[in-house]
């Protein structure tokens, strides 16, 4: 092999290495979807279905990473809401964003598995889990799978948000006072996230004035950006017209 051929081979090898490294860092999301962290890294994320800290007690099918994935328009509107809230010493906190369709099927199988643990009952203290689909707390075809629906809350950045979930601890159910239920590092909305109880309805009369004020503040901030709240869940919002087809691609780790 000549010196020239050696040089060409070295250059090609170097280029191949660059291409290989670039490919390894490519974000494998369908067109129109983005990582919220790429739009606004300041929005707090606690993607609960990618962990064991949820009503099923394990990561759901398709959650390969604890990342909020949304349609780009949704992400830009969340960024606008975050900018206004930040001026008030507040932040959004995302619990769930895009949800692979297989995760909804996973929820369905869980609801019919014939047993309920004490940890599961924390989330639905009065409703058997076999009834959650019929009563509209879980959907077999979720708007989350279109990339246009979100579960979220507010965080007071001036407060002590250091309390963390301890899987070995026996917390009170999601309707209990905030100091007794599972810690979420957010403002007191009157119930925990994913609380399938009438007290979790956005306009529930059984919550106190401060809790009601926080819910109204969240609804107002989201409504200003065009989001609509689901009346049975104070944490659930969707952006009309931004959805469309349901997707089932798994959530991959963000590699940037």
pLDDT tens string 216-254: 999 999 999 999 999 999 999 999 998 889 999 999 999
CB 100 within 8 A of CB 162: no
pLDDT-derived band at 2 (thresholds 50, 70, 90) equals very low
Proportion of the chain above pLDDT 90, given as a percent: 83
CB 248 within 8 A of CB 101: yes
pLDDT-derived band at 138 (thresholds 50, 70, 90) equals confident
- Calculate the average pLDDT of the chain: 89
Q: Is the dihedral of CA 241, 54, 157, 35 positive or negative?
A: negative
The predicted pLDDT at position 27 comes to 56
Q: What kind and span of H or E run contains 33?
A: strand 33-35
Structure token digits, residue 48: 């609960």
The predicted pLDDT at position 95 comes to 98
Closest CA to 125 of 79, 180, 48, 163: 180
* Structure-model confidence comparison of residues 54 and 141, the more confident one: 54
State the Cα–Cα distance between residues 110 and 98, nearest whole angstrom.
20
The predicted pLDDT at position 26 comes to 39
Q: Between the CA of residue 46 and those of 3, 68, 118, 238, what are the distances in Å?
A: 56, 9, 23, 18
Q: What is the mean pLDDT of residues 179-203?
A: 97
């Amino acid at each position: 092999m000549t010196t020239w051929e050696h040089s060409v081979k070295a250059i090609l090898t170097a280029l191949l290495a660059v291409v290989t490294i670039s490919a390894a860092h490519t974000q494998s999301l369908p067109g129109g979807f983005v990582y919220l962290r790429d739009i606004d890294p300041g929005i707090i994320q606690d993607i609960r279905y990618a962990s064991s800290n949820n009503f099923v007690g394990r990561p759901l099918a398709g959650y390969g990473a604890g990342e909020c994935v949304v349609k780009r328009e949704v992400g830009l509107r969340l960024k606008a809401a975050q900018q206004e809230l930040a001026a008030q010493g507040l932040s959004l906190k995302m619990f769930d964003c895009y949800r692979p369709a297989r995760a909804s099927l996973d929820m369905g199988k869980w609801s019919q598995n014939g047993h309920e643990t004490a940890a599961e009952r924390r989330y639905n203290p009065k409703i058997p889990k076999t009834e959650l689909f019929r009563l509209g707390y879980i959907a077999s075809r979720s708007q989350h799978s279109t990339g246009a629906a979100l579960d979220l809350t507010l965080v007071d950045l001036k407060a002590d948000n250091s309390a963390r979930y301890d899987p070995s601890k026996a917390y009170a159910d999601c309707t209990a006072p905030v100091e007794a239920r599972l810690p979420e590092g957010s403002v007191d909305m009157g119930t925990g996230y994913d609380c399938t109880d009438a007290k979790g309805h956005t306009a529930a009369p059984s919550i106190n004035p401060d809790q009601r004020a926080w819910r109204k503040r969240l609804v107002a901030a989201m409504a200003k950006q065009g989001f609509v709240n689901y009346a049975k869940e104070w944490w659930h919002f969707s952006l009309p017209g931004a959805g469309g087809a349901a997707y089932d691609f798994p959530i991959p780790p963000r590699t940037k």
